[in-house]
Amino acid sequence: MTEPFFFSRTASLSLGDVASLTGAEPAADTSLERRIGNLAPLDRAGPNDITFFDSAKFLNALAATKAGACLIAPRFADKVPSGTATLRIAEPYRAFVLVGRALFPGALRPSSLFETEGGHVGASVHRTARLEAGVIVDPGAVIGPRAEVGAGTVIGVGAAIGPGVRIGRDCAIGANTTITNTLIGDRVIVHPGCSIGQDGFGYLMGGQGHIKVPQTGRVIIQNDVEIGANTTIDRGAIRDTVIGEGTKIDNLVQIGHNVAIGRHCVLVSQTGISGSATLEDFVVLGARVGVNNHVTVGEGAQIAALSIVTHDVPPGARWGGAPAKPVQLWMREVKMVERMAIQKYERGQANAASTAAKDD
């Protein structure tokens, strides 16, 4: 129980391999035949490990490290201890990630929880479903009529794939995920507990009760999307809900019906996007952002955490606050309110002291 290693690594890499992979420049005295087999932070690294350094606030940890090798920005290279091989590179953490991907390819996407090969006898696959060669279906999974699943895809324990759903190649569908009314591209990762393709939240309000609006659209998820655990994506009502290629969605995100999300967007945890909103390409939403219905967030815009977006955001803008506005304006408002609050507090304290002195 003291050594629970969950991810097996490939064969170790030589420092020459690391230099070729990352473009890092080894120090003159570095042995390129030296091998490393693991990743570790500065304070826990040993002779078999590679680490990285990219911030002056960790200089003490760098001085004490026992790492076999360190990826480091050139300006700090002379701070590396003598027993640690120095690999100079402008972006140390990016290089560290590339090494990690090479050492631990199995950590890049979920695998079969049952280590299944092919379809497990405990899975239920409808006779009209079509699975390409190399699909893995874990125990308890259900694949419905006319569903199609591409080669290399893993369907996790207890996942439910509805009628007519299409899932591309080399995807990973997490345990206890439900997918209906959805078309999914290649290399898509859906983490456990997601619900995709269910009804959108649509009602015609009235004094005698609320009439449900039919939701007849689909969810379209393009290539290389990753969707975090327990995220929900509603199908469209009168047009499709679309997630553009390369977009990365964190855990616990809610995406409403008819939402259009562009390519390579980033949505951080607990964000909620209301129906018919549009996010153009490369938009970033911080944690717990709320986006109102029918709002458009322009290409490359960034929204600060805890913000509420109630109006269209121009391309490339940085907004924050509730309601959200340009960051500089928002920060000025925050400072002004803070100054007013401090002044009022100080006046109150002075009045209280004066009253106490009179009472004495």
Give Dmax over CA atoms of the chain in angstroms. 91
More confident residue, 274 or 355: 274
Residue pair 49/40 in contact by the 8 Å Cβ criterion = yes
The pLDDT value recorded for residue 358 is 73
- Which residue in the block uniquely carries the two structure tokens 């952002």? 289
CATH number at residue 48: 3.40.1390.10
Tell me the one-letter amino acid at 153. T
Over 90: is that where the pLDDT of 50 sits?
yes
Residue 71 resides in a domain: yes
pLDDT confidence of residue 9 = 74
Whether 24 maps to a domain, the answer reads yes
Q: How far apart are the C-alpha atoms of 258 and 276, rounded to whole Å?
A: 5
pLDDT in tens, 145-198: 999 999 999 999 999 999 999 999 999 999 999 999 999 999 999 999 999 999
Task: Measure the CA angle with vertex 318, ends 58 and 340; round to 5°.
Answer: 85
With beta carbons less than 8 A apart as the criterion, state whether 141 and 119 touch: no
Asked whether the predicted pLDDT for residue 25 surpasses 80, the reply is: yes
Catalytic residue, candidates 257, 264, 294, 311 = 257
**Residue 356's pLDDT is what?**
76
* β-bridge mates for residue 338, sequence order: none
pLDDT, position 52: 98
78 occurs within a structural domain: yes
Residue with tokens 């400072």: 335
Q: What is the mean pLDDT of residues 25-53?
A: 95
User: Is residue 99 assigned to a domain?
Assistant: yes
According to DSSP, residue 108 is labeled S
- Identity (one letter) of the amino acid at 159? A
- 257 a catalytic residue: yes
Does residue 48 form part of some domain?
Answer: yes
Residue 18 belongs to some domain of the structure? yes
Q: Are 65 and 85 in contact (CB under 8 A)?
A: no
In the predicted model, what is the mean pLDDT of residues 297-326? 97
Q: Please check whether residue 17 lies inside any domain of the structure.
A: yes
**Could you tell me the strand order of the sheet in which 219-221 lies?**
130-131, 148-149, 166-167, 182-184, 219-221, 241-243, 260-261, 278-279, 296-297
User: Which residues span the domain enclosing 91?
Assistant: 13-107
Q: What is the DSSP string of 6-42?
A: -S---S-EEHHHHHHHH--EE-TT--TT-EE-EE--T
| Domain presence at residue 7 | no
Contacts of 260 (CB under 8 A, 6+ apart): 241, 242, 277, 278, 279
End-to-end CA distance of the chain: 68
The model's pLDDT over 93-142, given as tens digits with 9 standing for 90+, comes to 999 999 999 999 989 999 999 988 888 889 999 999 999 999 999 999 99
Give me the number of domains the chain comprises.
1
Residue 3's pLDDT is 63
d(CA 203, CA 237): 11
Structure confidence by residue, pLDDT tens digits, 206-248: 999 999 999 999 999 999 999 999 999 999 999 999 999 999 9
Q: What is the pLDDT of residues 251-295, one digit of tens each?
A: 999 999 999 999 999 999 999 999 999 999 999 999 999 999 999
Coil/strand/helix, residue 162? coil
**What is the value of pTM for the model shown?**
0.91
Give me the phi and psi of 38, to 5 degrees please: -155, 165
Q: Distance between CA atoms of 123 and 159, rounded to whole angstroms?
A: 10
Show the CA angle centred on residue 80, arms to residues 74 and 83, nearest 5°. Answer: 135
d(CA 123, CA 84): 51
